[in-house]
Structure 1
Amino acid sequence: MNHDRFRHLLGYIDSHLDEVLSLDVLAGKAAYSPFHFHRRFAALTGMGVHRYVQLSRFKRAAWQAAFRPDVSVTEMALQAGYESAEGFSRAFRQRLGASPAAFRGQPDWARWARTWQDLDQVRRFAMPLTHDHDDVRIIDFPETAVACLPHRGAPELIGETIRRFIAWRKENRLPPSRSSTWNIVYDDPDETPPDAYRMDLCCTCAEVAPNEQGVIAATIGAGRCAVLRHTGSDAQLGDSVRFLYGEWLSASGETPRDAPLFFKRVVFFPDVPVHEAVTEIYLPLAGVS
């Protein structure tokens, strides 16, 4: 099983989490012998295929519990392959320390972040992304008015800021389908002390009324930008950013402008399978627009 077939297999798992994903089914999708498939999968990922499928299902369920209050526990259970909400709730509690309902009310964000580390490692290291210089385009970005909720503190706690921002967007009838979603990224989470980390959650919005969530009016400045489309897990987003700052910037002769990196969240997990999530990375460049 080469890496291309393996990448295709991970995409199949992502897209079929609510279906039967037996060893025979997955070995067939990988065009590999069932007698050797599970060992080859473990050799490539560092975990068994059954655990990989379980973690993928629970990650989607936990995202739904945290950020999709319209999805019931019963729906989450069925999508995760459980016959009853009770059995699913027990398994959820074992992984995340609380039932889905309790987690929805008061998430343990630190435990949340730890739970997916092994799964994220598979994405980042077993199947590294590849980018080409032709993947980057240079545009003139227009000044854009946004509603902004600053996050200050450990990256692992950003889930709570996301929930507050979602609540504000719902109150103001600004869903992603009507108002583009942006992240302004001031710091590298791998290089910044957790309590000093800064990122702003934003959406396109002309005016912001006083509110309890702490959302403020702001702008993303106009200017030249290099844009790279990242498709896949956020676990690999840093690798795409490093390509842009490293290989592409070195070869391009361009100079970064004195403005922070920002992202446009085009399509997000869990609304689509993780391998289909799309984020556009904008690197502000010096020079005349």
Structure 2
Amino acid sequence: MATSSVEEKINRVCYFIEEQPYEDFSLQDLSEVAELSKYHFQRVFKSVVGVTPHRYILLSRLRRASFELLYRRDLKIIDVAISAGFESPEAFTRAFTRVFSQTPKAFRNRPDWSKWAREFDITIPVRDRQYNVNVFDYPSIKCAAITHRGFYLEGLKTYDALFNFIVKNQYLTREQLKATPLLIIPNANPLKIEESEYTCEHCIPFEGEIAPNDEGVSSVMLPGGSFAVLTYVGPREPNGISHAIQYILNEWMPQTEWEWGGRPAAFVYDNSPLLFPDTELITHICLPIEPKTQ
């Protein structure tokens, strides 16, 4: 499952940027991290990732700013601008509007998730790494859930609806939600299925009862059982996650007495991009398993 040396180098640069997204890196700085010539680096970076290094830095800043606009209502727009590394709120507003066709204020009030999601349809190359897989038995868990349908990056719109529903109906507070893991259960790899066929359950652990509503939120009981669990650290994007799942299926599982149980994998988002850089995001990949049949 080796990746090319070029992809390893570009991955190194992506992580370097994500660890300090508010620094003003020059092309020379980044090309040195990649160990490529400045002119060769820019061409290679765009061919692999889909955007220029400068655009990638901008998107990294604006992604974090987007989350703060929506989920940190205590912050003024000027605070978000400064936090995102912009010299002034005017510069932040110009950049945000140019990319998303919405001002920060308009996005905070009514985000256009479709436009937002398309801007982040980029590729972060996978780096080779050593994974640890452990087997755990988990009980069933009761959750408040909502179903996302369509383009996977627009899942944030669905999560936003679930988050706001729970807060509005006082099931949990904003602060409680920030400390509560999110469980994601997709029906397939979003890169290998038509957008119209992709669905994904967004689940937040909640023991109470959800009243009947018109917003698509309901109580569900996620079944327990035995799971192969791999803790993945880094950006939550399909290429890296898929790489980790293939490791469980193709490298770890054949050497064990376990086989895939047939149910979809669950992804437990242990921490929030509001509080941590993408390189420190923790995702527990939980694949249902059962003893191999003879």
- TMscore range, shorter length: 0.7 to 0.9
CA distance in 1, matches of 2:207, 2:75: 31
- Give how far 1:158 is off: 1.9
- Give the TM-score, by structure 2 length: 0.80
Q: Which moved more, 1:6-15 or 1:101-110?
A: 6-15
Coordinate RMSD, CA, aligned? 3.0
Counterpart selection for 1:151 from 148, 152, 161: 148
- Give how far 1:197 is off: 1.9
Task: Give the match for residue 235 of structure 2.
Answer: 233
Verify the 8 A CA contact 2:229 2:285 in the aligned structure 1: yes
CA distance in 2, matches of 1:61, 1:15: 15
Verify the 8 A CA contact 2:12 2:34 in the aligned structure 1: no
Task: Give the match for residue 39 of structure 2.
Answer: 39
1:166 to 2:167 alignment: no
Partner SS for 1:162: helix
How many equivalent pairs are there? Answer: 277
Counterpart selection for 1:281 from 278, 285, 294: 285
Task: Give the match for residue 207 of structure 1.
Answer: 208
Which 5+ residue runs of structure 1 have no aligned equivalent? none
Task: Give the match for residue 129 of structure 1.
Answer: 127
- Give how far 1:239 is off: 2.5
Verify the 8 A CA contact 1:135 1:229 in the aligned structure 2: yes
> Residue type matched to 2:184 in 1?
N
CA distance in 2, matches of 1:6, 1:238: 18
1:10-21 superposed matches below 5 A: 10-21=14-25
Q: Cα distance 1:20–1:161, how it changes in 2: closer, same or farther (>3 A)?
A: same
CA distance in 2, matches of 1:11, 1:69: 28
Verify the 8 A CA contact 2:152 2:195 in the aligned structure 1: yes
Report sequence identity in percent. Answer: 24
Cα offsets for 1:209-241 (capped at 9, x unmatched): 316443222222121110111111122223322
Partner SS for 1:161: helix
Verify the 8 A CA contact 1:149 1:214 in the aligned structure 2: yes
Task: Give the match for residue 218 of structure 1.
Answer: 220
Verify the 8 A CA contact 1:254 1:286 in the aligned structure 2: yes
Task: Give the match for residue 92 of structure 2.
Answer: 88
Q: Cα distance 1:39–1:211, how it changes in 2: closer, same or farther (>3 A)?
A: farther
- Give how far 1:262 is off: 0.5
Q: Which moved more, 1:234-243 or 1:139-148?
A: 234-243
Verify the 8 A CA contact 2:11 2:127 in the aligned structure 1: no
Task: Give the match for residue 182 of structure 1.
Answer: 183
> Residue type matched to 1:38 in 2?
K
- Give the TM-score, by structure 1 length: 0.81
CA distance in 1, matches of 2:286, 2:180: 18
Verify the 8 A CA contact 1:38 1:49 in the aligned structure 2: no
> Residue type matched to 1:57 in 2?
R
Task: Give the match for residue 72 of structure 1.
Answer: 76
Partner SS for 1:159: helix
CA distance in 1, matches of 2:12, 2:248: 25
Q: Cα distance 1:229–1:21, how it changes in 2: closer, same or farther (>3 A)?
A: same
Which 5+ residue runs of structure 2 have no aligned equivalent? none
> Residue type matched to 1:150 in 2?
T
Partner SS for 1:57: helix
Counterpart selection for 1:107 from 97, 111, 114: 111
- Give how far 1:162 is off: 0.8
Q: Cα distance 1:37–1:82, how it changes in 2: closer, same or farther (>3 A)?
A: farther
